[in-house]
Amino acid sequence: MPPNRRKGGVVLGIIGGSVSVVLVIVILIVLITMRSESGFPDAKFALTLPEALVDGRFQLAQDLSDSEGQRIEDEAGAEYVKITDSVVGKYDLGGDESRGVLLLSGMYGRFKDTVVPRENMLKGAGEGEGVTVAIGPRVFTQSGSPTVSCEVLKQDKSGTTLIYPVCAWADENTAAAVAPITSKTASQDPSGPDLRFYAKLTLQVRSEAVKPIG
C-alpha cells in the first residue's frame, strides 16, 4: 500500500520545529559545563553521523552539523566546555520521511558531568516552540551502558497535536538526544510511547554513532 500521505504530512510538519528543539538541546549542553580546566576526562570517543542507524532502518537524509552545529558553538562560547565538534542529523525511516524521521543532536569532546547534561537536554527539548512535556523524565539504567533519560513531548503545530518521545544520554566524551517521530506514533495518546523501548533504541543509536578517536 502507498504511504499514508495524511500522516506523512503530520510527520513533515514537525520536522522544522523538532530541529529547533534539538538545537536548544545543544545550547544547553554547552551552558551546563564548567569553566575550569581541571577534572576533564581524556577525549577517546567521537559522535558521528553514520549513513544508517538502528540496523539500517533509518537513512541519513540531512547532515545539519555545519549549518546548525557551528552556529550554536559560536553563540554559546567555547570557554564553557571542551568541545571538539557538534553533530545534528535527520534520518528518514526506510529512506521515506513521510513514514517517519529520527533526529540525532549532540556533541563530543570532554565532559566533566554526565548527569546534568542529560537532564538539561530533556529540559531544553521541553521548552521548544509549541512544546509541552506530556510525560516527565524517567531514568533507565543498563549494566555497562550510560544512563538514559526519556520523556514524552506534545507539540501543537498548525492545528495538529503531535506526540513523540525524546531520550538523552551523556558520557565522558559524548552527549546527545534522540527523537524518533513516526507516522504511526505521532498521533498516539501521550501514555502510548514505551519509554523503556526508546531508551534501548537510544543506546543502540549510541552504539552505532559513537566511534573511537584515531
Alpha helix stretches (DSSP H) within 58-194 = 70-76, 116-125
Q: Which single residue is written with the C-alpha cell 558531568? A: 113
The pLDDT tens digits of the residues spanning 200-212 come to 999 999 999 999 9
Q: Which residues contact 101 (CB under 8 A, 6 or more apart)?
A: 11, 15, 18, 58, 61, 90, 91, 92, 93, 180, 181, 182
Confidence of residue 151 (pLDDT cuts 50, 70, 90): very high
**Whole-prediction pTM value?**
0.81
In the chain, pLDDT over 70 holds for what percent of residues? 75
Strand-pair partners of 167: 150, 178
The pLDDT of residue 80: 43
The pLDDT of residue 143: 92
The pLDDT tens digits of the residues spanning 82-139 come to 788 889 999 999 999 999 999 999 889 888 888 888 888 888 888 888 999 999 999 9
The pLDDT of residue 125: 87
Q: Which single residue is written with the C-alpha cell 513523540? A: 164
Q: Label the pairing between strands 52-53 and 45-47.
A: unpaired
Task: Give residue limits of the domains in the chain.
Answer: 5-212
CA distance 5 to 196: 29
The pLDDT of residue 124: 85
Residue 68 DSSP code: I
* Inter-CA distances, 211 with 101, 108, 120, 133, 206, Å: 23, 11, 24, 32, 9
CA distance 124 to 28: 7
The pLDDT of residue 113: 80
The pLDDT of residue 153: 95
Residue 33 has pLDDT above 80, yes or no: no
Q: Summarize the confidence of residues 180-194 as an average pLDDT.
A: 88
Q: Which of 7-21, 69-83, 154-168 tops mean pLDDT?
A: 154-168
| Other CB atoms within 10 Å distance of the CB of residue 166 | 33
Q: What is the mean pLDDT of the chain?
A: 82
Q: Summarize the confidence of residues 76-83 as an average pLDDT.
A: 52
Alpha helix stretches (DSSP H) within the chain = 5-31, 70-76, 116-125, 195-209
Alpha carbon of residue 151 to chain centroid: 12
The pLDDT of residue 35: 46
